Structure 1
Amino acid sequence: MLAIFIQTLPFFLLIGLGYGAGRTKFFSEEATAYLTKFVFYFALSAMLFKFSANLSISEIFDWRFVMAYFWGTAFVYGIVTLVALMRRLPAEEAAFEAQCGVIGNVGFLGVPMLTLLMGPEAIGPVMLVLAVDLIFFGSLIVIIITGSRDGRMSLGILRSVGIGLLKNPMIVSIVLGLTWSALSIPIPTVMNDFLSLLGGAATPGALFAIGASLATKSAERPIVAGWLSVNKLVLHPAFVAFSALILFPVEPYAAAVMIATASLPVAGNVYILAQHYGVAPQRVSASILISTAVAVVTVSLVIGWANGLY
């Protein structure tokens, strides 16, 4: 476990560096926003395209894997939603608390960190987890919010969800990469070097951006945020492990990557959505801050345990 902690520490130190830059105002909110945009639309997209262009759908797609992660995640989503409704929260707030309980920082933290810690073969399972998060649970939050405000379901909601997925650069880069791979087109040397150079900026840029964005967040309502963090850091990987090892047995290495991915702290894009819809942004902000701070320890413990599965 100590060896894993030492391996994960540089990633969290980069987050800490970004946090320090943000807290001291050396890195302004505007600078953080532009760095995040650069990583999201360019560096991370280049990394994901290059990874997926060297894979095939048959290599990474596994229905059993998808079912294991989906149901493990759905269990926790249901628990958090039920607790929120028992506290008499509106459906919109319950939906955002559920998102905090299951949606981890897979794109900015999981992709760079797990491919380095668990080997490049981890990219396939990590991308599957990312796809399930974006396509199923990312769509679900939009459907719940829009449906509860309109008082009904409509084709317009589904159209908005579809357009949102098509505009997501992570989905687009993965699909384009897999299409490139399916067509068996070799990547030209110049293009490969370009993607390597640009994609190389994803890891430090993403981690620094996470830290700098955390500097503007506050730990208001820490009890609720703590409860949501426990769900994300403990219950989510635990239920995913149960689902992947018992309900829908998955190949050990893939199961280990899935469980490690489920242990990641709350994703920053949940806060962006909360701000956009004006639903509990402070609560989401606090959940991201607390879960990221505690994840320095919990992620190492989960990865160390998961590595023993294969």
Structure 2
Amino acid sequence: MAEIFLKTLPFFLLIGTGWAAAYSRFFPAEATAWLTKFVFYFALSAMLFRFAAALDVQRLFDARFFWAYLSATAAVWAVAMTVARWRKLPLADAAMEAHTAITGNTGFLGVPMLVVLLGQAAIGPVMMVLTIDLVIFSALLTLLVTAARQGRTAVAALGPLVMGIVGNPMIVSMVAGLIWAAFRLPMPAPVAEFLELLGAAATPGALFAIGASLAGRSAQRMGPALWISGVKLVLHPLAVGIAALMIFDVDAYAAGVMIAAASLPVAGNVYILAQHFGVAAQRVSTAILVSTAASIATVPAVIHWITTR
């Protein structure tokens, strides 16, 4: 356990460095916004494209993996939604809480950290998780919130939904890389070196940006945030583990990557969605803060279990 903690510690130290820089105002909010944009549109996209382009597309999709993660995450989403509705929250607020409880920071934290800790073979499973989160569950949130809060039908929300998916650089870079891999196109050496150089900035840049973004968050609406964080850090990986190992019999290594991805703290982009829709922004912000802080202890514990079982 101590060895795993020490391996994850540099990642969280980078997050802490970003937090300290922003909290001291040495790194202003505008700089955080621009760094996040650089990572999102350039560095992380280069990393994802390079990873995807090197995959064996024919072996990438695993139906058991897909259904295990989808069904377990949907079950956790349903629990969070049910509890939110039991608390008399409006549909849009309940949908946002449920989405927050199942959406981990797979892009900014999971891709760089899990590949380092679990090996290059983790790339495929991590991308599967990222795709399901970004496409299926983000689509569900958009449809519910749009219909509930803006008085539009689910059909009317399809246009913005499609544009949001097409305009997401993580999805575009993964799809482009998979197309490249499917046609087995050669990667020219200068292009490969360019992608490697640019992608290398993704890990430190993303972790620093995560920390810097946390500095501007205040711990309000602590009760709901604690509940959401508990669901995300404990219930989500537990449900995914049960589905992967006991129901769908997913390959042990891929199941471990899936569980590790499910154990990640709440993703920062959920707050962007909350702000965009004007729904539950404060409790989402606090859940990001609380879950990220708690994940310093919970993520190493999960990875330790995965690597020693």
**TM-score > 0.5, shorter chain as reference:** yes
Q: Which amino acid aligns with 1:81?
A: M
Which residue pairs with 1:66 in the alignment? 66
Which residue pairs with 2:170 in the alignment? 170
1:255-270 matches, cutoff 5 A:
255-270=255-270
Which residue pairs with 1:156 in the alignment? 156
Runs of 4+, deviation exceeding 2 Å: 149-156
| % same residue | 57
Q: Which amino acid aligns with 1:14?
A: L
Which residue pairs with 2:86 in the alignment? 86
Q: Distance in 2 between matches of 1:302 and 1:200?
A: 26
Q: Distance in 1 between matches of 2:2 and 2:257?
A: 19
Unaligned segments of structure 2, at least 5 residues: none
Shift of residue 92, structure 1, vs aligned partner: 0.7
What are the superposed Cα offsets for residues 251-288 of structure 1, whole Å, 9 maximum, x if unpaired? Answer: 00000000000000000000001111111111000000
Number of residue pairs matched by the alignment: 309
Q: Distance in 2 between matches of 1:115 and 1:46?
A: 15
Q: Distance in 2 between matches of 1:150 and 1:275?
A: 14
Q: Which amino acid aligns with 1:216?
A: G
Shift of residue 75, structure 1, vs aligned partner: 1.0
Which residue pairs with 1:144 in the alignment? 144
The Cα RMSD (Å) is 0.9
Q: Distance in 2 between matches of 1:244 and 1:25?
A: 44
Which residue pairs with 1:98 in the alignment? 98
Which residue pairs with 1:184 in the alignment? 184
Unaligned segments of structure 1, at least 5 residues: none
Q: Decide whether the 8 Å contact of 2:146 with 2:154 is kept in 1.
A: no
Shift of residue 249, structure 1, vs aligned partner: 1.1
Q: Distance in 2 between matches of 1:232 and 1:131?
A: 18
Shift of residue 182, structure 1, vs aligned partner: 1.1
Q: Secondary structure at the match of 1:155?
A: coil
**TM-score (norm. length: structure 1):** 0.98
Which residue pairs with 1:132 in the alignment? 132
1:47-58 matches, cutoff 5 A:
47-58=47-58
Q: Distance in 2 between matches of 1:150 and 1:198?
A: 40
Shift of residue 29, structure 1, vs aligned partner: 0.6
Q: Distance in 2 between matches of 1:181 and 1:221?
A: 46
Q: Distance in 2 between matches of 1:168 and 1:150?
A: 23
Which residue pairs with 1:14 in the alignment? 14
Q: Decide whether the 8 Å contact of 2:144 with 2:154 is kept in 1.
A: no
Q: Which amino acid aligns with 2:97?
A: E
